[in-house]
Amino acid sequence: MSPACRLLAALGLSSIAFPVAAQSRRSEPPPVRWAAAVSAFDSFMAVDSIAGGSLVAVRQGRIVARHQAGFQDRSAHMPVSERTIFHWGSITKTLTAVAIMQLRDRGLLSLDDPITRWVPELRQVHNPFGSMDDITLRMLLSHSAGFQNPTWPYRKYVDWEPFEPTRWEQLVAMMPYQEIRFPPGSRYSYSNPAYIYLARVIETITGDPWQSYIYKNLWAPLGIHDSYFNATPWHLIENRSNNYTLIRDSSGAERVVDNGREFNPGITIPNGGWNAPVGDLALWMAFLTGATGGDTTRTRLYDTVLGRETLTEMWQTLVPLAADSAEGMGLGFFTMSAGGTMLIGHTGEQAGFRSWIYFNPATRDGVIACVNTTDDARPEDSAQAFRAALAAATATLR
């Protein structure tokens, strides 16, 4: 019996009760300010010479507005479609965070456990502020442990280097040459390795590889079928988007480089390896927001994956992103106060792809977007355009 069937049997269900459909079955008006969000998104694409992207609005778990532009494969003139598979980068961290909370709610760990209880190799990291045993899982989830940001801090961006470390022992070998950068728990500082260490906790406790745990305990029960990690399955290859980089060459001319469809995220998969069409992200949002449409069976299914009380706990700000900032970090999710409205979500950037998922937990409305091009030519202009597009999109949620 499959993991999904075992879960449904435990719930007393005779057939799979999938989440609210990702695509609206009836005509619904787009959100207020949707036109402005589309305009800002198109401006972002123009500034960065983005090959292709998708922006959707989600209401109560249903996609009610969709804007697709450009190409998933520019040279082949393949346009972005609702089936296009993007790479979602650090939005993957929300999967890891929910998995940790599942284990917490099952009594298998505590958020106040020292990370060294589960990953003793981390005692090799230099901590000028005290013992590594003082760093807790809660600190890793909230990016306040003091670990470095990049997984691969020594990268020189030459052709022979791997994209990321590919084996756990490579990270362990680097630990004696790393240090904690501020008193743990004192402030926010984003860290990709922190989520790899959290994935090791999941693997140590369950005996499952992290990817298998996510498939069995999150995606299967939630009906998320077209998501995967690393290499694209053969039956989905035609939908996989290429990724691109806007560069400036030695003469000062700008051009877009096609990086192809596949890349190996290596050891970074638990912090940035999710590949999926936008519809699968809408299914994930339906679960996160509890968009059940009043279906008690679906409510029980969602609560079996993770209870609403725990999700709400994850969305409480633990550390601000900066002094006097309206943005903060909870347990695996960013918090954003926009016009007096609290929004929850995450952004992602890896290998040419940039993305976001944000929602209003009070209304269950959300916005999801991804583009397939990174701007290395004008990073400051790019960052400003990304922020403007995100701000216009989240304005639809107020």
Residues of the chain below pLDDT 70: 1-26
288 has which bridge partners? none
Does the pTM surpass 0.75? The reply is yes
CB 77 within 8 A of CB 176: no
- 26 C-beta neighbours (distance < 10 Å), count: 6
Contacts of 397 (CB under 8 A, 6+ apart): 31, 338, 341, 343, 358, 359, 360, 363, 365, 366, 367
pLDDT of residue 4: 42
The reply to whether CATH 3.40.50.300 applies to domain 3-397 is: no
Distances (CA, A) of 310 to 200, 256, 288, 307: 22, 44, 11, 5
pLDDT of residue 7: 39
Distances (CA, A) of 196 to 116, 155, 360: 13, 18, 28
User: Tokens 């090799």 map to which residue?
Assistant: 124
pLDDT of residue 23: 53
> Strands 353-360, 341-350: parallel, antiparallel or unpaired by DSSP?
antiparallel
Q: Tell me how far apart the terminal alpha carbons of the chain are, to the nearest angstrom.
A: 44
Among 270, 286, 274, 252, CA closest to 353: 274
Task: Annotate the chain with three-state secondary structure.
Answer: CCHHHHHHHHCCCCCCCCCCCCECCCCCCCCCCHHHHHHHHHHHHHHCCCCEEEEEEEECCEEEEEEEEEEEECCCCEECCCCCEEECHHHHHHHHHHHHHHHHHCCCCCCCCEHHHHCHHHHHCECCCCCHHHCEHHHHHCCCCCCCCCCCCCCCCCCCCCCCCCCHHHHHHHHHHCECCCCCCCCCCCCHHHHHHHHHHHHHHHCCCHHHHHHHHHHHHHCCCCCEECCCCHHHHHHECCCEEEEECCCCCEEEEECCCCCCCHHHHHHHCEEEEHHHHHHHHHHHHCCCCCCHHHHHHHHHHCCHHHHHHHCCCCEECCCCCCEEECCCCEEEEECCEEEEEEEEEECCEEEEEEEECCCCEEEEEEECEEECCCHHHHHHHHHHHHHHHHHHHC
pLDDT of residue 339: 79
pLDDT of residue 88: 98
Give the integer Cα–Cα distance in Å for 4 and 363: 29
Exposure of 389 in the CB half-sphere (CA atoms within 13 A): 31
Domain segments of the chain as ranges: 3-397
